[in-house]
Copies of this chain bind each other. A is one copy, B any other.
Amino acid sequence: MPEFRQDPVTSRWVIIASERGRRPTDFETPPPRSENAFCPLCPGNEHTTPPEILRVKTDDGGWDLRVIPNKFPVLGVEGDLDRMGDGMYDRMNGLGAHEVIIESPEHNTPLGYLSVERISRLIQAYHERYVDLKRDFRFRYVLIFKNQGEAAGASLEHPHSQLIALPVVPKRVHEELVGARRHFEYKERCIFCDILRQEMKEGTRVVLENEEFVVVSPYAARFPFETWILPKKHQSSFETLDAAQSHALARILKNLLQRLDRVLGNPPFNYMLHTTPLQEGPNEYYHWHMEVIPKLTKVAGFEWGSGFYINPTPPEEATRFLREARVDREF
């Protein structure tokens, strides 16, 4: 059984996925994928995946998007949450959901090159799964994310996103909540709204903007070409996203991904959604957003171990490169 364990010093929860039981030799680099390798996410192979949770159908009986349980989930969805002591330590059984969102039937079209309508439907699928999993009171957070490219941790080439529903709030999100609450107590303003105001005024770190969203390269970016996509109006949770917003988010995300591709040549990347925890309701201090992080540098372990980041590309320069990139058209 997978389990959650808490580090007693930092209070950080970690999933120990003993089911996966990776032995030393399992870490050897896998051989490069062959062009014609079997893809379980392609049309025609639906029977090889676990039964689907959601399907967006096409008129001809096919599908545009599918959501399925992860075949090798890091958490199991059955049972109640059991918190246990283990001497001085704390652990919980590995309760959670782990789903795969197949973004389109097309194996060779990366997300940034799907139509705006398809990307918008993908965002709506994120939202639909989010709202559905919220009904399960065992969960406190739904982490929606995408790994693109092997170096960013993608184990399948076919474009897909993932979500993990958790009985705990991830540490980075918790830190943001604490910082945002502190700012609100002091100023009675949302810190992200303050950031947006300053960025819009200054302009040097604003990569893109449309009627609903802004893409900024954050002032203290940890990684080269790191960007955040923030809703313009104050909105604490992804839950309240509406149809107009999901269309606007699709347009700005497509635009950003194409620019990253132009500037960095199809970089591996991760994005993830940060939002108010599930059972907390709307608030005035937090502001949901997406963080988009190209995987360009290799100094991982050092930065993991110290929490100390060295970014060789100032966000103002990253912004300039991304703004000057030519995309076929604005979306």
Name A's B-contacting residues (CB within 8 A): 5-18, 20-24, 26-28, 74, 86-89, 143, 145, 147, 150-153, 164, 166, 170-176, 179-180, 183, 191-192, 194-195, 198, 202, 218-225, 263-265, 267-272, 291, 293, 295-315, 317, 321
Residues in B with CB closer than 8 Å to A147 are 299, 301-302
Contacts A87-B198, A88-B198 given; does A153 touch B305 at CB 8 Å: no
Please tell me if the beta carbons of B311 and A14 are within 8 angstroms of each other in the complex.
Answer: yes
Q: What are the residues of chain B within 8 A of A310 when measuring CB–CB?
A: 14-15, 17, 74
Give the secondary structure class of A's interface.
mixed
CB distance from A146 to the nearest CB of B (A): 9
| Docked-complex contact B171 and A8, CB < 8 angstroms | no
* Distance of A303 Cα from B20 Cα, bound (Å): 18
Minimum Cβ distance to chain B for residue A206 (Å) = 14
Contact partner of A307 among B23, B150, B175, B224, CB < 8 A? B175
- Closest chain B residue to A197, Cβ basis: B88
Partner of A305, one of B291, B297, B313: B291
**Which chain B residues border A164 with CB–CB below 8 Å?**
308
- Give chain B residues whose Cβ lies under 8 Å from the Cβ of A194: 8, 88
Cα A317 to Cα B88 with chains together (Å)? 20
Query: How many whole Å from A100's CB to the nearest CB in chain B?
Result: 14
Residues of B near A10 (CB, < 8 A) are: 172, 175-176, 179
Of chain B, the residue at the smallest CB distance from A201 is: B87
Question: By the criterion CB–CB under 8 Å, are A12 and B312 in contact?
Answer: no
User: Are A9 and B191 also in contact (CB < 8 A) when A173-B306, A198-B88 are?
Assistant: yes
Question: With contacts A27-B264, A198-B87 known, is A222 near B14, CB below 8 A?
Answer: yes
Residues in B whose Cβ lies below 8 Å from that of A152? 298, 300-302
The smallest C-beta distance from A266 to any residue of chain B, in angstroms, reads 12
Chain B residues, Cβ within 8 Å of A179: 8-11
